[in-house]
Amino acid sequence: MKHLTTTAAAGAAVTLILVSPTPTYASGLALRETDAISLGNAYVGGVSRASDGATVVLNPAGMSLLESSELYGNVFYVGPSARFSGQNYLAPGVKTSGNQGGKNINSAATASSFGVWKINNKLAVGYGFTAPYGLRMDYPQNWVGRYQSLVTTITDYELSLAASYRVTKKLSIGLGPRVDFLSGRFTQAANLGALNQYGTTTADLSGNGFGFGYSAGLIYKFDDRTQIGITYRSRVSIPVAIKTKFAPPWSLAANPFVQGLLVAESGHGKLQVTLPDSVGFGFTHRVTPKLTVMMQGEWTHWSLLQQLNAISDHGGLNTTIPINWRNTWFGGVAVNYALRKNIILRSGFSYDQSPVNAKNRQTRTPDSNRFNLSAGIEYSPIKMVSLDLSYAHLFAPGGSINNDAGNNAGQLVGNYSTHANVVGFGMRTHF
């Protein structure tokens, strides 16, 4: 029973750091669905374009460069797939019974909101409400890797506040705090050996916590056609209060001895989670009055996640979980073309490196490198309103997995095949 608690805590805690109401489909647990304009440009250009309210989050320096105050709302649909093929071995030659699952990752919708108020020609303030990290994995109850994970639900909501000041005609700066609320729920089947014949006992861990960080940026305009941007998002350290409980089948729940052990091993604990800092840099150049080209790169400090320490406060075993993620790079190019005065066409291509490789890929985060190809259109029916519709397809070759989660959970050997389709709609009002 001590090991049962350890297994449950370890599996769930691993996922907590691998952190919204959408499935994750960017590097690690990052969600790049900030706004519909960025989606249409394959998530490229936000650091330097300074053209809309999403700059509050993408680069707060851009707020003072906007021509007017603005409210900007977005909704997204994300349809991902992460199919597994392979086997789980409890011992050499001993396979776990069950199927290989289906899509294994849920489709979902999410949203974001931004507001910018121009106080004068030099000073602006704003807010952004986004979901920068998230994950939705949902394996069937009888899949072969059920002793490693079943349900993984992670949500990170972030409120960003910022101010921007135009120091000179060429230089603008921005700075502001961020507040994150992280929550999650993680389940897996507990391997109780001979007791499995009476049904599946499910281990369930949930937790939540608040953390604080900041973002800062600058934009430099060489002239009216060319500008560069640099932005920094700090790491966010979040103390997470966790709770573990077990749900045995009715036949075991009726046994007072078994039920007593499960109740004794349920309880509370704590876990420290650090979301990574990142540095982004970008370039925007208006080639002609109609054609604009953007380039962007980003470095993310995922190597902060080397291990997690889950500490029990009810006499259970403390657990150290190895993660061993690596730092990553993102980069891409995008173009905008003004077809008419009130119609802009968008497109982009980008590459997003994963912090996960074959050595540390796990069932809760079967992440892999991906390529993003997108297109979008902006239409302004009247001067004060702009509508954006965007689509992106994320190509992810997937990757192999050889994850040994211990004698009771087994060693999962196989491959994941992944991809996703994303649709976004945004509406901006200028005043």
**pLDDT tens, 189-240?**
888 887 777 788 888 888 999 999 999 999 999 999 999 999 999 999 999 9
pTM score of the predicted model: 0.87
Residue range 241-261: average pLDDT?
78
Q: Are 349 and 330 in contact (CB under 8 A)?
A: no
Radius of gyration of the chain (CA): 23
**pLDDT tens, 148-192?**
889 988 889 999 999 999 999 999 999 999 999 999 888 888 888
User: Which one, of 238, 136, 249, lies nearest residue 180 by Cα?
Assistant: 238
Q: Are 405 and 3 in contact (CB under 8 A)?
A: no
Q: Residue 5 — pLDDT band, cuts 50, 70, 90?
A: very low
Write out the DSSP string of 77-88: EEEEEEEEEEEE
**pLDDT tens, 12-46?**
333 333 333 334 455 678 889 999 999 999 999 99
The pair of structure tokens assigned to 276 is 């990574």
**pLDDT tens, 38-81?**
999 999 999 999 999 999 999 999 999 999 999 999 999 998 88
What residues have CB less than 8 Å from 221, skipping those under 6 apart? 65, 169, 170, 171, 172, 227
Q: Are 259 and 253 in contact (CB under 8 A)?
A: yes
What are the phi and psi torsion angles at 383 (to 5°)? -60, -35
* Phi-psi label, residue 222: left if phi above 0, alpha if psi -120 to 50, beta otherwise: alpha
Element (H, E) at 15: helix 2-17
**pLDDT tens, 286-340?**
999 999 999 999 999 999 988 877 787 876 656 666 788 999 999 999 999 999 9
Residue 178's domain is classified under what CATH number? 2.40.160.60
User: Which one, of 306, 217, 201, 177, lies nearest residue 261 by Cα?
Assistant: 201
Neighbours of 299 (CB within 10 A): 17
Q: Residue 129 — pLDDT band, cuts 50, 70, 90?
A: very high
Q: Where are the alpha helices (DSSP H) in 173-275?
A: 250-253, 256-265
**Overall domain count for the chain:** 1
Average pLDDT of the chain, as a whole number? 87
Alpha carbon separation from 275 to 72, 136, 154, 156, 414 (Å, rounded): 26, 18, 13, 10, 29
Round to the nearest angstrom and report the end-to-end CA distance of the chain: 62
Q: Residue 4 — pLDDT band, cuts 50, 70, 90?
A: very low
Neighbours of 329 (CB within 10 A): 12
What residues have CB less than 8 Å from 414, skipping those under 6 apart? 84, 85, 86, 87, 100, 400, 401
Q: Are 303 and 326 in contact (CB under 8 A)?
A: yes
What residues have CB less than 8 Å from 281, skipping those under 6 apart? 47, 228, 229, 230, 231, 296, 297, 298
Q: What sign has the CA pseudo-torsion 45, 49, 55, 60? A: positive
Domain containing residue 383: 2-430
Q: Are 36 and 53 in contact (CB under 8 A)?
A: no
